[in-house]
Structure 1
Amino acid sequence: MVRHDTFTISRHLDVPPGEVFTAFADTTIRRRWFRLPGHAASYEHDFRVGGGETARSTYTGLDTAPERLEYRSRYIDILGVRRIVYNYEAIIDDQLRWTSLVTVQLDAETHGTRLHWTEQAAFVRYTGDGGTDLAHLRGATVLRLNGLDAALQPRPPRRPPVDVRTGLRD
């Protein structure tokens, strides 16, 4: 049996839609907020219709065996700085766990952008009745959007290092 779930998360971001769009399109900025958990991660990103992203990592949880994680996406529709539609697959230890269709809509608001993230997931393998997996996906999406928001914040200037002999900054 396949379990389905659809959810929408909306939030205000303090930058214009063009900057939010760039955080999806620009690989350097994207790496600041889109990452797989674990170590030995690798990423390939091609932001265009028909392009996509592949990410792999190895995750070891507390008292669990290492898991090989893989994420594969394909961009279906990109409408300027207003909309991104893509699908992705989540694969754990070479087994497809779920696939999703995601629509990201960016609407200009006073002092920023209203982002609407709608995800339609189909869990083909799940734990128990699937309720934990659905909650995990929703929670992980909230965390990912928190990372997006943080990546969009101005970065503080780097402070010069403290000289260990004098305790003063250069």
Structure 2
Amino acid sequence: MTENQDGAVGQTHGTPPEAVPDGVRHDTFTVALRLSVSPAEVFRAFADSDLRRRWFKLPGSGATYEHDFRVGGGETAYSTFTTLDTPPQRLKYWSRYIDIAPDARIVYVYESHVDDMLRWTSLATVELRAEPGGTELAWTEQVAFVAPTGDGSDDLRHVRGGTRLRLNGLVAALASPGTPRRITSHT
């Protein structure tokens, strides 16, 4: 455990050197989404923990979540992912909010762990821009893959695909009862 200047305690994470034969790989991607709700409604889907649970989920079963939406706060989630042909994998997601501009921007860092090994970390920026009839959302991630899956060639596709799935969930959550508006999206 380590302690920073603010007295916050966190865990020190390390990846064994043999897990990253060629070093850290960096990638950046952006997914854009057009929503027919206001930036305030989209922002609320990130800030309100109950609404967020409808769309921001880890794969697998037995998931637990803690969410503290404020600068310096963050989110922790745990889950167990099982397939028919592999042993169960313990998943952990940890994030910390760096910048929050209501109805306009959310910047945070997050870590993804599988079986207690840090696999990747990312700086994510979510920008909300008002436009006629709704909101343009741009989700940009700068990812550092520290422990690749196999040769690492599918890692970016995996993270980008997971982001798109979450954003599909966001669209569904905003269109659910209580938000009776038509949502359109593009990536």
Same fold (TM over 0.5): yes
SS at match of 2:85: coil
Choose from 10, 31, 34 the match for 2:32.
10
Structure 2 counterpart of 1:4, one-letter code: H
1:160 match: none
Alignment counterpart, residue 43 of structure 2, candidates 4, 16, 21? 21
Shift of 1:80: 1.6
Aligned equivalents of 2:159, 2:111: Cα separation in 1: 12
- RMSD of aligned C-alpha atoms? 1.0
Residue among 177, 180, 183 paired with 1:155:
177
**Aligned match for 1:75, one of 81, 97, 109:** 97
Matched residue of 2:161: which SS?
A: helix
Aligned-pair distance for 1:95? 0.2
- Which residue of 64, 85, 90 maps to 1:42? 64
Cα offset, 1:11, TM superposition: 1.2
1:146 CA displacement: 0.6
SS of the residue 2:71 aligns to: coil
Taking the aligned partners of 1:127 and 1:34, their CA distance within structure 2 comes to: 23
Distance apart, 1:155 and its partner CA: 1.6
User: What is the deviation of 1:131?
Assistant: 1.6
Unaligned runs of 5+ in 2: 1-22, 179-187
Task: Give me the identity figure in percent.
Answer: 66
The equivalent of 1:32 in structure 2 is 54
Flag as ranges the 4+ runs of structure 1 deviating above 3 A: none
**3-state DSSP class of the match of 1:36?**
coil
2:121 is the counterpart of 1:99:
yes
2:134 aligns with 112
Q: Name which of 44, 60, 77 aligns with 1:55.
A: 77
Question: For 2:156 and 2:36, how far apart are their aligned partners in 1?
Answer: 29
Look at both structures and tell me which one has the larger radius of gyration over its CA atoms. 1
Give, in whole Å, the separation in 2 of the partners of 1:14 and 1:61: 36
Match of 1:136 among 158, 174, 184: 158
User: 2: CA distance between counterparts of 1:41 and 1:154?
Assistant: 22
After superposition, what is the alpha-carbon deviation per residue over 1:104-128, rounded to whole angstroms, capped at 9, x for unaligned?
0000011110000000000000023
Moved more, 146-155 or 83-92: 146-155
